[in-house]
Chains A and B, each alone.
Chain A
């Protein structure tokens, strides 16, 4: 099997300070990769470089495109990259308001990606939006409400529906459960796990919460000071950490 994503030597510097350095890995179809570390470890910088929100100083992010096979998304043109980001890629922000249009109805939020790729039949768009609200456990009668009327957990579920409606193959998630109550987190994690399996999604999840990766991630990368210090299968890394830093992280000695 060929990797869906092949990351080679990604480095990003802020002046002399290291954002992330020389990160390489492969991600296979249907695989979920967790990236954990403290704040300032470079995990968010790395995620933004991978998703095309930040230009890395070195390295390649090769993605298996539907039409042309493996393409380096760092060097492809901006129109191509933006097209990718609203078709085969999706990005779930920590704060739903960064990923939603708060002055647009739930249906309009979910329908936007469909319209962006050319859907021009109102009835079809609305049906698909309503269907997706159901899949993220939002009642169909909320389709015309704005996200401002939703709870935090609902907003996050709406953001997920808005991202998944075009059937992306790769989802980037930045602390998707951050800032939510514990009980709300659990429900969201269950939902995400179901969708990932059902849609055979590949995902890269950045989080400081080991419970999130324990539940969702097949593999784990542990980052510290911009470097990857340990990588492996999730259970293996969490149950038998090899690197001293990972051991501290797992034993919850570190306040992350």
Chain B
């Protein structure tokens, strides 16, 4: 092999990270401290997720990276190349073919299976940070299950905006115990947190790992009279016609013409390949030609 140990990190570091992951899986939603390593990329690029991926990848894995749902952003491409180079793993853009998927800001539209692992890049793991800056105090609040403050945040949202305006990183309670920040995924994705796959969350700068095991109960916090809603743009994808996917809104020309399209590019492509066409779409073969 090359100058690197498999997947860049040395075996001792990977063992340390795996222990943190196992502890996280044993205590769903609990933030496990770990000794984050310097990675050859800046913190904003998901070094926490990269370290978790490095610790779980095996030579037989097929790896996929998405950034805001897309496989082709600079961030996604560079992380994918990093593991192609250091772990020599197969890579794919097809959600169904990947055994390990590293993600920033989205959960794939296609349901994940029990043999798949989803690794999230997390900027700020502490959901209570917004109102309680003291780390000592937030740890105590988690330990004693004192989560009234999370509802104060939602209360403030409603009193200022008339509705719960939090649309990303929407707080959840895991298995009736720990309140968790699901990373900045849109709240549309929150119901998918209850899934068959293993979900691992890595925060590099903050040195925390947490996890949601398969089929774990994950509930979005809300009020009785302001129930949680997994909202999305009230529109269909203009490319593939999907009405059930999370959409990005794009301004496509100088006249301000707008277009909605699936944020999950693999999902959109698969649908177009299967013959679905949206209002502004063209058949898949034509586009490729």
Contact = CB atoms under 8 A, between A and B. Distances in A.
Given A103-B131, A116-B146, A122-B158, A108 B152 contact: yes
Interface string B159-181: 11000000000000000000000
A97 B224 CA distance: 31
Interface size class of B (residues with CB under 8 A): 10 to 19
Nearest to A143: B159
B37 interface: no
B148 A121 contact: no
Describe A's contact surface by its main secondary structure: helix
B156 interface: yes
Contacts of A121: 223-225
A80 to B, nearest CB: 10
Contact of B155 (A79, A108, A113): A108
A137 interface: no
A105 B159 contact: yes
Interface residues of A, number: 24
B144 A78 contact: yes
Contacts of B158: 122
A101 B131 CA distance: 8
A144 B159 contact: yes
Interface in B203-224: 223-224
Nearest to A82: B144
B152 A104 contact: yes
Contact of B225 (A116, A122, A143, A144): A122
Given A122-B225, A123-B225, A115 B146 contact: no
A117 interface: yes
Interface in A99-143: 101, 103-105, 107-108, 111-113, 115-117, 120-123, 125-126, 143
Nearest to B143: A79
Given A79-B144, A105-B156, A108-B156, 19 more contacts: A104-B131, A104-B156, A107-B159, A108-B152, A108-B155, A112-B148, A112-B152, A120-B151, A120-B223, A120-B224, A121-B224, A121-B225, A122-B224, A122-B225, A125-B155, A126-B155, A126-B159, A143-B159, A144-B159
Interface of B: 131, 144, 146, 148-149, 151-152, 155-156, 158-160, 223-226
28 contacts: A79-B144, A82-B146, A86-B148, A101-B152, A103-B131, A104-B152, A107-B155, A107-B159, A108-B155, A108-B159, A115-B151, A115-B152, A115-B155, A116-B146, A116-B148, A117-B148, A120-B223, A121-B224, A122-B155, A122-B158, A122-B223, A122-B224, A122-B226, A123-B225, A125-B155, A126-B159, A143-B159, A144-B160
